[in-house]
């Protein structure tokens, strides 16, 4: 199988104002599309893009309890189905906006919704839409997936985060690198708005999955997928499962570092966070 150059997560925190319902950061989205255009121009044509929900989806999912599905209510609940539909309308709206911006920058981008093909059991992925992603890539298009609702065999539905999707994509495609672009410069020693928070340049993942140095994190009340702690877990899992052969980098969307991370897989000191595997 031809190599995938980059799996790129466009964070919902960077693409939207995450605390204001369905509010796009139009300038950041343009920046993201310009970045993908540069990657394409530099020969990185086999990229998979996944974006998060930000303020499109998390509010509706929280209000209707989509993440816990029927585990917290009756299996025959029409409100749950209605909430799932509203959540999907919101995330697919953002997917349309992201894909539209990419296409207007000349990228052959195609939006792909995970709902219906990706399935879970107790929130664990048991079926993926990988074949579709591969076909789309092999035909010369740039797949644009997104965090979505999923049908769940045990609890009717759940929320499938873009971060979780990326973990599966990394395992199946073994890309040259995985890059997460967010609204802050990388991973901090504690929440970035906390006094004394320091950007962590490098996180070493031990054989048992522990991180050195450890970090403290916080999450917004309406975030239904755990915020940055899920991203950390995803990064740890990718690095552990690939024994460090897939570098994971986290940096700010609106930055020069983002381009360097995607093109070279490297970041200078103070530009972001790089995950590596501890050799035993
Ligand atoms: P989405 O899930 O909507 O796609 P995202 O992937 O862009 O969002 P979040 O899950 O919202 O990103 O995580 C980024 C946010 O996490 C930042 O806005 C930051 O304020 C917050 N955060 C909390 N603790 C930390 C930490 N220790 N290091 C970095 N960011 C942190
Ligand atoms: O923002 C969440 O995806 P994420 C998807 O990538 C929904 O965690 C539907 C809220």
pLDDT tens for residues 49-69? 999 999 999 999 999 999 999
Q: Which ligand lies nearest the alpha carbon of 87? A: 2
pLDDT of amino acid 73: 77
> What is the whole-number distance in angstroms between the Cα of residue 220 and the centre of ligand 1?
9
Give residue 104 CA to ligand 2 midpoint distance, Å.
25
Determine the average pLDDT of the residues in 101-130: 98
Crossing angle of helices 130-138 and 162-173, in 10° steps, is: 70
Ligand closest to CA 55: 1
The verdict on residue 34 lying in a domain is yes
Is the CB of 12 inside a 6 Å radius of any atom of ligand 2? yes
Name the residue with the closest Cα to ligand 1, atom 13.
228
User: What is d(CA 274, CA 63) in angstroms, rounded to the nearest whole number?
Assistant: 35
State what percent of residues in the chain have pLDDT above 70: 99
Q: Per the domain annotation, does 278 fall within a domain?
A: no
- Confirm or reject: Cβ of 162 under 6 Å from ligand 2: yes
Among candidate residues 208, 204, 200, the one with its CA nearest the CA of residue 228 = 200
The total number of structural domains in the chain stands at: 1
In this structure, is residue 192 part of a structural domain?
Answer: no
Q: Which residue has the tokens 């195609």?
A: 110
Q: Is residue 224 part of a domain?
A: no
- CA 194 to ligand 1 center in whole angstroms: 13
> For ligand 2, is residue 158 a contact (CB within 6 Å)?
no
What does the pLDDT read at residue 280?
64
pLDDT of residue 199: 98
Predicted pLDDT of residue 229: 93
Tell me, yes or no, whether 210 lies in a domain.
Answer: no
Q: Which atom of ligand 2 is nearest to the CA of 147?
A: 3
Query: pLDDT tens-digit profile of 232-265?
Result: 999 999 999 999 999 999 999 999 999 999 999 9
**Domain span including residue 103:** 6-183+246-265
Confidence of residue 1 (pLDDT cuts 50, 70, 90): confident
Tell me whether residue 236 is in a domain. Answer: no
Average pLDDT over residues 78-85: 94
Is 256 within a domain?
yes
pTM of the model: 0.97
Distance 51 CA to ligand 1 centre (A): 13
Q: What is the 3-state secondary structure (H, E, C) of the chain?
A: CCCCCEEEEECHHHHECCCCCCCECHHHHHHHHHHHHHHHHCCCCCEEEEECCCCCCHHHHHHHCCCCHHHHCCCCCHHHHHHHHHHHHHHHHHHHHHHHHHHHCCCCEEECCCECCEEEECCEEEECCHHHHHHHHHCCCEEEEECEEEEECCCEEEEECHHHHHHHHHHHHCCCEEEEEECCCCCECCCCCCCCCCECCEEEECCCCCEECCCCCCCCCCCCCCCHHHHHHHHHHHHHHCCCCCCEEEEECCCHHHHHHHHHCCCCCCCEEEEEECCC
192 ligand 1 Cβ < 6 A: yes
pLDDT of residue 72: 78
Do the beta carbons of residue 34 and residue 42 sit within 8 Å?
A: no
For residue 43, the domain's CATH number is 3.40.1160.10
96 CA → ligand 2 middle, Å = 15
Query: Among the atoms of ligand 2, which is closest to the Cα of residue 12?
Result: 1
Cα of 181 to ligand 2 centre, how many Å?
A: 15
């Amino acid at each position: 199988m031809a190599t995938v150059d980059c799996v790129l997560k466009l964070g919902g925190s960077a693409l939207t104002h995450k605390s204001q319902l369905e509010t796009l950061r139009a300038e950041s989205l343009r920046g993201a599309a310009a970045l993908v255009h540069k990657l394409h121009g530099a020969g990185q044509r086999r990229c998979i893009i996944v974006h998060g929900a930000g303020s499109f989806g998390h509010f509706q999912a929280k209000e209707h309890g989509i993440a816990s599905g029927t585990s917290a209510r009756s299996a025959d609940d029409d409100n749950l189905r209605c909430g799932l539909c509203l959540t999907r309308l919101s995330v697919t709206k953002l997917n349309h906006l992201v894909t539209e911006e990419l296409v207007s920058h000349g990228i052959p981008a195609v939006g792909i919704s995970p709902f219906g093909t990706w399935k879970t059991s107790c929130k664990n992925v048991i079926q993926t839409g990988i074949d579709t992603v591969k076909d789309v890539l092999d035909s010369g298009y740039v797949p644009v997936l997104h965090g979505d609702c999923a049908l769940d065999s045990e609890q009717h539905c759940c929320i499938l985060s873009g971060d979780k999707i990326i973990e599966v994509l990394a395992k199946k495609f073994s890309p040259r690198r995985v890059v997460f672009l967010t609204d802050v410069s990388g991973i901090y020693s504690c929440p970035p708005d906390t006094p004394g928070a320091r950007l962590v340049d490098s996180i070493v993942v031990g054989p048992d999955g522990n991180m050195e140095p450890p970090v403290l994190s916080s999450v917004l009340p309406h975030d239904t997928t755990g915020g940055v702690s899920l991203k950390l877990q995803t990064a740890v899992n990718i690095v552990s499962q690939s024994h460090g052969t897939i570098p994971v980098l986290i940096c700010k969307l609106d930055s020069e570092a983002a381009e360097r991370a995607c093109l070279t897989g490297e970041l200078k000191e103070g530009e972001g966070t790089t995950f590596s595997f501890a050799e035993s």
